Structure 1
Amino acid sequence: MLYTLFPKFLQSYDVNRLATVAGESGFDAVDLVVREGYWVTPERFAEEAPAFVRAMQRSNLKVEFATTGFSPEMLAQDDTPLKVMSDAGIRSFRMSYFAYDEQEHLFAQMDKARALMHQMAELCSKYKLKAVYQIHHGDRMLIHHSYAALSLVEGLPSEYVGIMPDPGNQFHEGNDNWRRAVMTLGSYLAGMGIKDAKYVYNPEGRTAPGKGWGKQWTPCQDGVTNWHAIAKALHEAKFQGVLNFQPFYHSSSLDLLIPALQEEVAYIRNLMSEAGRLAGHEAV
């Protein structure tokens, strides 16, 4: 398993400081984030992506997973980003999301999304890359659950398309049976979003429709998700993909975020190690 950091809230750091923090926090790798205002921007992708990879490698960190907004339609027009990622050593990338339109029949939207995933698989096959669809929460998102995500890709080549469940995101919509999700996705399980949340109660809102209850991002060691069950299932499935840490807590204070992140990585590594020992093989 590759422990990789999605450094969304670390954009104030230069690449050297980012590499130092990632290494000290226990990561094997850092995401190649392709966004405005980050180290690699869409406009200068061909130049900045290889430079970012080299900078991380100088600190003995891998860059094998990219967080992008690339859609099948975009890449069909120009597949240069796929070539750039492949040449830079990227193996998989988080693609764009499918939006939900309440004015259109759900199954019709799913059929369109599946056709686009088929197109994405064909595009990625040329460069031996895997496009990964992350399960996300929110009214505007088409896919909220592992089984819905599976219907996007079932029958397509899992070498080129895959799914990333996300316990933190999915908690905002309900939950999932994590062992069943891991086993059902099978070879399409390309990554696991390492992110968690918890319930919070505000008594002042007890007469509101939500009865005062809300949800808040928090480190995995403090959240609602049973990471023991996930670790056990991943080892049972002999999963060797991406563990993508997404620290959304303490987003306005790096002085709080970094120590919590270090504790979170240690917590997950310990769980994975113990699950591997119980499964009779070494955690990696």
Structure 2
Amino acid sequence: MRVLVLTKPFGALPPEELAARLAQAGADGADLLVRDGQTVTPGTAWRTAETARALRGNGLELGLVSTDLTSADSEAERVIGHCAEAGVPLLRVGFYRYEAGADFAAGLDRARRDLAGLAELAGRHGVRLVLALHHGTLHPSAAHAVRLLAGRDDVLVHPDPGNQAKEGSEDWRLSLDTLGGLDRIGCVGVKNAVWEPGETQGSWHCRWQPLADGGVVPWPTILPGLAGLGYTGPLSLHVHHPADNPFAAVRRDLGYLRGLRSEPRITPLAR
């Protein structure tokens, strides 16, 4: 399992500096976020190839590009085209948001149509799409993702137990079984969170937590369990918690993650 690092915390660093710093931190590669204020933006998608070259020059890979794309428009054509030119194998689509009180069936149908258009566009360029399980969307869990992806086998899924903790939790083995097994998994997002009392009496809120400090997601069970099942795809480490030095935070979380990844003992799994 190679460990990619989501580049969100690093802002608009030049590609060479981003690549060098990630190598120093101990990453295997990058999950490049294409968004305004980042190294590569939708308007500078041509820099994807430049970033890929910088990463390769430092012994790293550009294993995943994460985007906010939700439909097959001109921006999607440009971003996906440049990803293809750079040899990017996987592209994470954006989030199809859930709107309480809106017509759920109509929203789901619209999301299916938009995703179908994106998948067809990506297919023409030879890039595989992945859909992240994410809070606040029509796809927060494996079951909801399967409903959105009904009839499609050209889009992989990006489980993310940390994201799922924002709305509760889902047994990671249940997620895999619901999705149909490891063949449907493109990447696994890695981060942790904690629930704590809110400012209003009786209220609670969920905040991001350094991976190395633990949290509500049982990574010491999940990582050996994935290895035991034969998962060899990428992990994407997300450092969303506040950090004065994001590269130091990445280095610390990477060290913890590598310890779990190399753990030879496989936790017995109940079926």
Give the Cα separation in 2 of the matches to 1:179 and 1:78: 33
2:4 matched to which residue of 1? 4
When residues 125 and 12 of structure 1 are mapped into structure 2, their CA distance, relative to the original with a 3 A threshold, is closer
Aligned to 2:206: 215
Q: Is the 8 A contact 2:2 2:233 kept in 1?
A: yes
Q: CA deviation at 1:181?
A: 0.8
Q: Residues 183 and 237 of structure 1 are in contact (CA less than 8 Å); yes or no, is this contact kept in structure 2?
A: no
SS in 2 for 1:216: strand
The Cα offsets for residues 41-83 of structure 1, whole Å up to 9 and x where unpaired, read as 222212x1111111111111111210112223326x8623322
Distance 1:6 1:146 in 2: 22
State the Cα distance separating 1:101 from its structure 2 match. Answer: 2.7
| Secondary structure of 2:42 counterpart | coil
Which residues in structure 2 correspond to 1:92-171 (within 5 Å)?
Answer: 92-138=90-136, 141-157=137-153, 160-171=154-165
Q: Which residue identity lines up with residue 18 of structure 1 in the other structure?
A: L
> Residue type of the partner of 2:42?
P
CA distance in 2, matches of 1:184, 1:273: 27
Q: Counterparts of 2:80 and 2:31 in 1: how far apart (Å)?
A: 16
The superposition leaves residues 26-52 of structure 1 with CA deviations (integer Å, 9 ceiling, x where unpaired) of 211112221222221222212x11111
Equivalent in the alignment of 1:55 = 54
Contact 1:135-1:166 within 8 A present in 2 as well? yes
Tell me the CA shift for residue 191 of structure 1: 1.2
TM-score after normalising by structure 1 = 0.83
The total of aligned residue pairs comes to 264
Alignment counterpart, residue 194 of structure 2, candidates 198, 201, 209: 198
Letter of the 1:265 partner, please give it.
L
Find the residue that maps to 1:271 and give its secondary structure: helix
Q: CA RMSD in A?
A: 2.3
Cα displacement string for residues 167-224 of structure 1 (whole angstroms, at most 9, x for unaligned residues)? 222111101111211233222221111111112346xx4x6340xx332211223222
* Amino acid across the alignment from 1:233: G
Partner of 1:182: 176
Percent identity (aligned): 28
Q: 2-side partners of 1:260 and 1:136: how far apart?
A: 23
**Contact (CA 8 Å) 1:178, 1:229: kept in 2 or not?**
no
Alignment correspondent of 1:282: none
User: Scaled by the length of structure 2, what TM-score is found?
Assistant: 0.87
Matched letter for residue 37 of structure 1: G
Partner residue, 1:67: 66
After superposition, the Cα gap between the structure-2 partners of 1:36 and 1:177, relative to the gap in structure 1 and judged at 3 Å, is same
Contact 2:12 2:40 in 1 (8 A): no
Distance 1:153 1:233, change over 3 A: farther
5+ residue gaps, structure 1, are: 280-284
Gaps of 5+ in 2: none
Q: Deviations over 1:255-277 (max 9, x none)?
A: xx4333222212222222225x6
**Paired residues of 2:122 and 2:129 also in contact (CA < 8 A):** yes
Instruction: Kindly indicate whether the alpha-carbon contact (under 8 Å) linking 2:156 and 2:186 is maintained by their aligned counterparts in 1.
Output: yes
The Cα offsets for residues 91-123 of structure 1, whole Å up to 9 and x where unpaired, read as: 011111112233433233223323333333322
Closer/same/farther in 2, CA of residues 220 and 182 from structure 1, 3 Å limit: farther
Partner secondary structure for residue 206 of structure 2? strand
